[in-house]
Copies of this chain bind each other. A is one copy, B any other.
Protein backbone atom coordinates (compact mmCIF):
# COMPACT_ATOMS: atom_id res chain seq x y z
CA UNK A 1 0.00 0.00 0.00
CA UNK A 2 3.01 2.27 0.53
CA UNK A 3 3.47 4.96 -2.05
CA UNK A 4 -0.16 4.97 -3.06
CA UNK A 5 -3.00 7.28 -2.19
CA UNK A 6 -4.58 4.46 -0.20
CA UNK A 7 -2.14 5.15 2.61
CA UNK A 8 -3.62 8.61 3.06
CA UNK A 9 -7.19 7.55 2.47
CA UNK A 10 -6.98 5.08 5.33
CA UNK A 11 -8.76 6.60 8.33
CA UNK A 12 -9.79 9.54 6.11
CA UNK A 13 -6.42 11.19 6.58
CA UNK A 14 -5.21 14.07 4.42
CA UNK A 15 -1.74 14.90 3.12
CA UNK A 16 -0.58 17.29 5.82
CA UNK A 17 2.16 19.66 4.60
CA UNK A 18 2.40 21.45 7.96
CA UNK A 19 5.81 22.88 8.84
CA UNK A 20 5.36 21.47 12.31
CA UNK A 21 3.82 19.85 14.17
CA UNK A 22 3.98 17.54 11.17
CA UNK A 23 2.80 14.16 9.95
CA UNK A 24 3.50 11.16 12.19
CA UNK A 25 3.80 7.57 10.94
CA UNK A 26 0.35 5.93 10.83
CA UNK A 27 1.81 2.89 12.61
CA UNK A 28 2.97 5.06 15.51
CA UNK A 29 -0.51 6.50 15.92
CA UNK A 30 -2.09 3.06 15.67
CA UNK A 31 0.12 1.70 18.43
CA UNK A 32 -0.51 4.73 20.65
CA UNK A 33 -4.24 4.26 20.17
CA UNK A 34 -4.08 0.56 20.94
CA UNK A 35 -2.40 1.17 24.30
CA UNK A 36 -4.11 4.42 25.21
CA UNK A 37 -6.22 3.23 28.16
CA UNK A 38 -3.97 0.45 29.33
CA UNK A 39 -0.33 0.39 28.28
CA UNK A 40 0.84 -3.19 27.69
CA UNK A 41 -1.42 -4.49 30.43
CA UNK A 42 0.02 -2.32 33.21
CA UNK A 43 -3.47 -0.99 33.97
CA UNK A 44 -3.04 2.66 33.04
CA UNK A 45 -2.28 5.05 30.21
CA UNK A 46 1.25 6.30 29.58
CA UNK A 47 -0.26 9.71 30.47
CA UNK A 48 -1.10 8.48 33.98
CA UNK A 49 2.12 6.73 34.97
CA UNK A 50 4.41 7.89 37.71
CA UNK A 51 7.56 9.12 36.00
CA UNK A 52 9.53 7.32 38.71
CA UNK A 53 7.85 3.95 38.13
CA UNK A 54 9.33 1.03 36.24
CA UNK A 55 6.88 1.18 33.32
CA UNK A 56 7.63 4.78 32.45
CA UNK A 57 11.34 4.40 33.14
CA UNK A 58 11.50 1.55 30.64
CA UNK A 59 9.86 3.75 28.00
CA UNK A 60 12.14 6.66 28.87
CA UNK A 61 15.44 4.83 28.66
CA UNK A 62 14.43 2.89 25.58
CA UNK A 63 13.64 6.18 23.86
CA UNK A 64 17.01 7.68 24.82
CA UNK A 65 18.79 4.54 23.65
CA UNK A 66 16.93 4.44 20.35
CA UNK A 67 18.00 7.99 19.55
CA UNK A 68 21.56 7.11 20.54
CA UNK A 69 21.43 4.11 18.22
CA UNK A 70 19.97 5.93 15.20
CA UNK A 71 22.55 8.73 15.39
CA UNK A 72 25.43 6.53 16.67
CA UNK A 73 25.86 8.89 19.61
CA UNK A 74 29.13 8.10 21.48
CA UNK A 75 28.83 6.87 25.08
CA UNK A 76 30.40 10.02 26.50
CA UNK A 77 27.89 12.33 24.87
CA UNK A 78 24.72 13.38 26.70
CA UNK A 79 21.23 12.91 25.29
CA UNK A 80 18.47 15.02 26.86
CA UNK A 81 14.73 15.30 26.38
CA UNK A 82 13.66 18.75 27.58
CA UNK A 83 10.56 20.90 27.61
CA UNK A 84 10.20 24.38 26.14
CA UNK A 85 10.95 23.39 22.56
CA UNK A 86 13.93 24.57 20.56
CA UNK A 87 12.90 28.08 21.64
CA UNK A 88 13.93 27.52 25.26
CA UNK A 89 17.30 26.28 24.00
CA UNK A 90 17.78 29.70 22.40
CA UNK A 91 18.19 30.97 25.97
CA UNK A 92 19.77 27.85 27.44
CA UNK A 93 22.63 27.79 24.92
CA UNK A 94 24.19 31.09 26.07
CA UNK A 95 23.34 30.29 29.72
CA UNK A 96 25.01 26.88 29.63
CA UNK A 97 27.77 27.41 27.09
CA UNK A 98 28.67 31.10 27.33
CA UNK A 99 32.09 31.99 28.71
CA UNK A 100 32.76 35.27 30.51
CA UNK A 101 34.94 37.52 28.31
CA UNK A 102 34.37 35.47 25.16
CA UNK A 103 31.89 36.15 22.36
CA UNK A 104 29.24 33.84 20.94
CA UNK A 105 29.39 33.79 17.11
CA UNK A 106 26.08 33.38 15.27
CA UNK A 107 25.36 32.57 11.63
CA UNK A 108 22.05 33.99 10.50
CA UNK A 109 20.33 32.13 7.64
CA UNK A 110 16.67 32.73 8.43
CA UNK A 111 13.89 33.25 10.91
CA UNK A 112 15.08 30.70 13.47
CA UNK A 113 18.70 31.79 13.52
CA UNK A 114 17.40 35.34 13.78
CA UNK A 115 15.17 34.51 16.76
CA UNK A 116 17.98 32.72 18.52
CA UNK A 117 20.19 35.79 18.07
CA UNK A 118 17.42 37.94 19.53
CA UNK A 119 17.24 35.83 22.68
CA UNK A 120 21.01 35.48 23.09
CA UNK A 121 21.44 39.28 22.82
CA UNK A 122 19.29 39.65 25.93
CA UNK A 123 21.85 37.62 27.84
CA UNK A 124 25.04 39.27 26.58
CA UNK A 125 26.95 40.65 23.59
CA UNK A 126 27.46 38.46 20.53
CA UNK A 127 28.93 38.56 17.03
CA UNK A 128 27.04 37.88 13.82
CA UNK A 129 29.58 36.00 11.72
CA UNK A 130 27.46 35.85 8.56
CA UNK A 131 23.95 36.74 7.46
CA UNK A 132 21.82 36.33 4.34
CA UNK A 133 19.28 38.86 5.57
CA UNK A 134 20.00 41.30 2.68
CA UNK A 135 18.74 38.69 0.19
CA UNK A 136 15.80 37.65 2.41
CA UNK A 137 17.57 34.53 3.65
CA UNK A 138 17.87 32.62 0.39
CA UNK A 139 21.00 30.54 1.04
CA UNK A 140 23.44 29.03 3.53
CA UNK A 141 27.10 30.13 3.54
CA UNK A 142 30.08 28.08 2.35
CA UNK A 143 32.37 26.91 5.17
CA UNK A 144 34.82 29.78 4.58
CA UNK A 145 32.33 32.65 4.28
CA UNK A 146 31.58 33.51 7.92
CA UNK A 147 34.03 35.80 9.78
CA UNK A 148 34.48 34.45 13.27
CA UNK A 149 36.03 36.42 16.12
CA UNK A 150 39.26 35.16 17.70
CA UNK A 151 37.57 35.07 21.10
CA UNK A 152 34.58 32.96 20.01
CA UNK A 153 32.97 31.06 22.89
CA UNK A 154 30.92 29.00 20.44
CA UNK A 155 29.69 29.00 16.85
CA UNK A 156 25.93 28.78 16.34
CA UNK A 157 24.01 27.90 13.17
CA UNK A 158 20.65 26.55 12.02
CA UNK A 159 21.06 23.52 9.78
CA UNK A 160 17.70 23.95 8.04
CA UNK A 161 15.60 27.09 8.11
CA UNK A 162 12.00 25.89 8.20
CA UNK A 163 10.40 29.10 6.97
CA UNK A 164 12.81 29.97 4.15
CA UNK A 165 13.51 26.35 3.18
CA UNK A 166 17.28 26.87 3.31
CA UNK A 167 19.54 23.95 4.20
CA UNK A 168 23.32 23.47 4.35
CA UNK A 169 22.88 19.98 2.84
CA UNK A 170 26.11 19.00 4.61
CA UNK A 171 27.78 19.08 8.01
CA UNK A 172 29.78 22.32 7.82
CA UNK A 173 33.41 22.33 8.94
CA UNK A 174 34.00 25.79 10.35
CA UNK A 175 37.69 25.12 10.94
CA UNK A 176 37.74 26.61 14.46
CA UNK A 177 38.50 24.73 17.65
CA UNK A 178 35.46 26.03 19.55
CA UNK A 179 32.16 24.33 20.41
CA UNK A 180 29.70 24.25 17.52
CA UNK A 181 25.99 24.55 18.30
CA UNK A 182 23.30 23.62 15.80
CA UNK A 183 19.54 24.04 15.86
CA UNK A 184 18.58 20.94 13.88
CA UNK A 185 14.83 21.08 14.58
CA UNK A 186 13.66 20.73 11.03
CA UNK A 187 16.13 18.26 9.53
CA UNK A 188 17.37 16.03 12.36
CA UNK A 189 17.14 12.34 11.45
CA UNK A 190 16.57 13.18 7.80
CA UNK A 191 20.07 12.05 6.69
CA UNK A 192 23.23 10.49 8.12
CA UNK A 193 25.51 13.06 9.70
CA UNK A 194 29.01 13.61 11.06
CA UNK A 195 28.36 14.07 14.76
CA UNK A 196 32.00 15.00 15.40
CA UNK A 197 31.45 18.34 13.68
CA UNK A 198 29.09 19.37 16.49
CA UNK A 199 29.11 19.93 20.25
CA UNK A 200 25.48 20.82 20.85
CA UNK A 201 22.61 19.71 18.66
CA UNK A 202 19.09 20.58 19.66
CA UNK A 203 15.78 19.99 17.95
CA UNK A 204 12.11 20.44 18.74
CA UNK A 205 10.55 17.01 18.24
CA UNK A 206 7.44 18.08 16.35
CA UNK A 207 8.91 17.98 12.87
CA UNK A 208 11.08 14.94 12.30
CA UNK A 209 10.78 12.85 15.44
CA UNK A 210 7.51 13.15 17.34
CA UNK A 211 4.85 15.51 18.68
CA UNK A 212 5.25 19.01 20.13
CA UNK A 213 6.16 19.38 23.79
CA UNK A 214 9.66 17.95 23.87
CA UNK A 215 13.04 18.89 22.43
CA UNK A 216 16.07 16.65 22.10
CA UNK A 217 19.49 17.99 23.06
CA UNK A 218 22.77 16.21 22.31
CA UNK A 219 25.89 17.35 24.18
CA UNK A 220 29.53 16.55 23.45
CA UNK A 221 31.93 15.92 26.34
CA UNK A 222 33.37 19.39 25.78
CA UNK A 223 29.93 21.00 26.02
CA UNK A 224 29.16 18.98 29.16
CA UNK A 225 32.36 20.19 30.79
CA UNK A 226 31.39 23.83 30.28
CA UNK A 227 27.77 23.27 31.33
CA UNK A 228 28.88 21.67 34.59
CA UNK A 229 30.57 24.91 35.67
CA UNK A 230 27.24 26.81 35.68
CA UNK A 231 24.99 27.35 38.68
CA UNK A 232 21.57 27.70 37.06
CA UNK A 233 17.97 27.13 38.14
CA UNK A 234 16.97 23.48 37.77
CA UNK A 235 15.02 23.71 34.52
CA UNK A 236 17.59 25.93 32.80
CA UNK A 237 20.56 23.69 33.51
CA UNK A 238 21.82 21.07 31.08
CA UNK A 239 24.00 19.67 33.89
CA UNK A 240 20.99 19.06 36.15
CA UNK A 241 19.09 17.39 33.32
CA UNK A 242 22.12 15.22 32.55
CA UNK A 243 22.51 14.09 36.15
CA UNK A 244 18.93 12.86 36.20
CA UNK A 245 18.70 11.58 32.61
CA UNK A 246 16.04 14.26 32.00
CA UNK A 247 13.91 13.09 34.93
CA UNK A 248 14.96 16.12 37.00
CA UNK A 249 11.30 17.12 37.03
CA UNK A 250 8.23 15.37 35.64
CA UNK A 251 9.18 14.91 31.99
CA UNK A 252 6.66 15.26 29.16
CA UNK A 253 6.08 11.51 29.33
CA UNK A 254 3.58 11.16 26.51
CA UNK A 255 5.65 13.19 24.03
CA UNK A 256 8.75 11.16 24.90
CA UNK A 257 6.79 7.93 24.49
CA UNK A 258 5.62 8.96 21.02
CA UNK A 259 9.21 9.90 20.09
CA UNK A 260 10.23 6.41 21.19
CA UNK A 261 7.67 4.83 18.87
CA UNK A 262 8.80 7.17 16.09
CA UNK A 263 12.46 6.16 16.58
CA UNK A 264 11.55 2.49 16.39
CA UNK A 265 9.71 3.22 13.16
CA UNK A 266 12.77 5.01 11.74
CA UNK A 267 14.97 2.01 12.57
CA UNK A 268 12.47 -0.50 11.19
CA UNK A 269 12.16 1.42 7.94
CA UNK A 270 15.93 1.42 7.40
CA UNK A 271 17.40 4.23 9.48
CA UNK A 272 18.91 7.49 8.29
CA UNK A 273 20.03 6.18 4.90
CA UNK A 274 16.47 5.29 4.04
CA UNK A 275 15.15 8.58 5.50
CA UNK A 276 17.64 10.46 3.30
CA UNK A 277 16.59 8.51 0.22
CA UNK A 278 12.93 9.29 0.84
CA UNK A 279 13.68 12.98 1.48
CA UNK A 280 15.57 13.13 -1.81
CA UNK A 281 12.68 11.48 -3.67
CA UNK A 282 9.97 13.65 -2.13
CA UNK A 283 11.76 16.94 -2.62
CA UNK A 284 12.97 16.13 -6.15
CA UNK A 285 9.40 15.51 -7.24
CA UNK A 286 8.53 19.11 -6.27
CA UNK A 287 11.75 20.86 -7.31
CA UNK A 288 11.57 19.14 -10.72
CA UNK A 289 8.14 20.65 -11.31
CA UNK A 290 9.38 24.08 -10.21
CA UNK A 291 12.45 23.87 -12.48
CA UNK A 292 10.43 22.62 -15.41
CA UNK A 293 7.73 25.27 -15.08
CA UNK A 294 9.51 27.99 -17.08
CA UNK A 295 8.96 30.50 -14.31
CA UNK A 296 5.35 29.64 -13.49
CA UNK A 297 6.67 28.47 -10.11
CA UNK A 298 9.63 30.16 -8.41
CA UNK A 299 11.51 28.58 -5.50
CA UNK A 300 12.73 30.77 -2.64
CA UNK A 301 16.06 29.14 -1.81
CA UNK A 302 19.06 29.22 -4.15
CA UNK A 303 19.81 25.87 -5.75
CA UNK A 304 22.78 24.88 -3.59
CA UNK A 305 20.78 25.51 -0.40
CA UNK A 306 17.47 23.90 -1.23
CA UNK A 307 15.89 22.20 1.76
CA UNK A 308 14.60 18.67 1.33
CA UNK A 309 12.23 19.21 4.23
CA UNK A 310 10.59 22.58 3.54
CA UNK A 311 10.05 23.78 -0.01
CA UNK A 312 9.11 27.47 -0.16
CA UNK A 313 7.86 28.55 -3.58
CA UNK A 314 5.48 30.93 -5.32
CA UNK A 315 3.32 30.90 -8.40
CA UNK A 316 3.50 33.75 -10.92
CA UNK A 317 1.39 36.13 -8.82
CA UNK A 318 -0.34 36.36 -5.46
CA UNK A 319 -3.79 35.68 -6.81
CA UNK A 320 -2.55 32.37 -8.22
CA UNK A 321 -0.92 31.54 -4.89
CA UNK A 322 -4.26 31.92 -3.13
CA UNK A 323 -6.07 29.88 -5.75
CA UNK A 324 -3.39 27.18 -5.55
CA UNK A 325 -3.69 26.85 -1.78
CA UNK A 326 -7.50 26.72 -1.88
CA UNK A 327 -7.65 24.12 -4.64
CA UNK A 328 -4.96 21.98 -3.03
CA UNK A 329 -6.90 22.05 0.24
CA UNK A 330 -10.03 20.91 -1.60
CA UNK A 331 -7.96 18.02 -2.97
CA UNK A 332 -6.84 16.76 0.45
CA UNK A 333 -3.48 18.58 0.56
CA UNK A 334 -3.53 20.86 3.59
CA UNK A 335 -1.40 23.54 5.25
CA UNK A 336 0.39 24.65 2.10
CA UNK A 337 0.33 28.40 2.75
CA UNK A 338 3.81 29.93 3.03
CA UNK A 339 4.91 31.92 6.05
CA UNK A 340 3.95 35.60 5.76
CA UNK A 341 7.62 36.63 5.68
CA UNK A 342 8.20 34.67 2.47
CA UNK A 343 4.70 34.44 0.98
CA UNK A 344 3.47 31.92 -1.57
CA UNK A 345 3.42 28.26 -0.67
CA UNK A 346 5.45 26.00 1.57
CA UNK A 347 5.42 22.23 1.32
CA UNK A 348 6.92 20.66 4.43
CA UNK A 349 7.63 16.96 4.10
CA UNK A 350 9.37 15.41 7.09
CA UNK A 351 10.47 11.82 7.73
CA UNK A 352 6.98 10.42 8.14
CA UNK A 353 5.49 12.21 5.15
CA UNK A 354 4.59 9.65 2.48
CA UNK A 355 6.17 9.82 -0.98
CA UNK A 356 2.66 9.39 -2.37
CA UNK A 357 1.86 12.80 -0.88
CA UNK A 358 4.77 14.42 -2.69
CA UNK A 359 3.65 12.72 -5.91
CA UNK A 360 0.10 14.01 -5.37
CA UNK A 361 1.38 17.55 -4.91
CA UNK A 362 3.66 17.33 -7.98
CA UNK A 363 0.73 16.07 -10.08
CA UNK A 364 -1.48 18.84 -8.77
CA UNK A 365 1.20 21.49 -9.49
CA UNK A 366 1.45 20.36 -13.11
CA UNK A 367 -2.30 20.27 -13.54
CA UNK A 368 -2.68 23.69 -11.92
CA UNK A 369 -0.02 25.14 -14.21
CA UNK A 370 -1.73 23.76 -17.31
CA UNK A 371 -5.03 25.27 -16.26
CA UNK A 372 -3.56 28.64 -15.28
CA UNK A 373 -0.38 28.98 -17.35
Contact = CB atoms under 8 A, between A and B. Distances in A.
Interface of A: 11-14, 16, 18-24, 26, 29-30, 32-33, 36-38, 41-45, 47-51, 53, 83-88, 90-91, 115, 118-119, 122-123, 204, 206, 211-214, 231-236, 248-255, 258, 332, 334-335
Number of copies: 2
Contacts of A12: 38, 41, 43
Pick the most buried of A22, A49, A86: most chain B CB atoms within 10 A of its CB: A49
Given A33-B36, A37-B29, A45 B20 contact: no
A310 to B, nearest CB: 13
Nearest to A121: B233
A160 to B, nearest CB: 16
Contacts of A14: 42-44
20 contacts: A13-B43, A21-B48, A21-B50, A21-B51, A23-B44, A23-B48, A29-B37, A33-B37, A44-B334, A50-B335, A83-B84, A85-B250, A87-B234, A88-B235, A88-B236, A90-B233, A122-B231, A123-B233, A211-B253, A212-B251
Given A212-B254, A213-B83, A213-B213, A21 B47 contact: yes
A253 B212 CA distance: 6
A184 to B, nearest CB: 15
A213 B255 contact: yes
Contacts of A84: 83-84, 88, 235, 249
Contacts of A13: 37-38, 43-44
Contacts of A86: 249
Given A21-B50, A21-B253, A43-B332, 5 more contacts: A20-B50, A53-B334, A83-B88, A88-B249, A213-B253
A50 B19 contact: yes
Contact of A249 (B24, B26, B87, B252): B87
A16 B37 contact: no
A255 B83 CA distance: 12
Pick the most buried of A86, A90, A255: most chain B CB atoms within 10 A of its CB: A255
| The 3 nearest A-B residue pairs measured at CB | A213-B252, A14-B43, A91-B233
A35 to B, nearest CB: 10
Contacts of A249: 84-88
A258 to B, nearest CB: 7
Contact of A234 (B41, B115, B252, B255): B115
Nearest to A213: B252
A233 B341 CA distance: 22
A37 B87 CA distance: 28
Contacts of A18: 48-50, 53
Given A18-B53, A255-B254, A85 B235 contact: yes
A110 to B, nearest CB: 16
Pick the most buried of A26, A45, A236: most chain B CB atoms within 10 A of its CB: A45
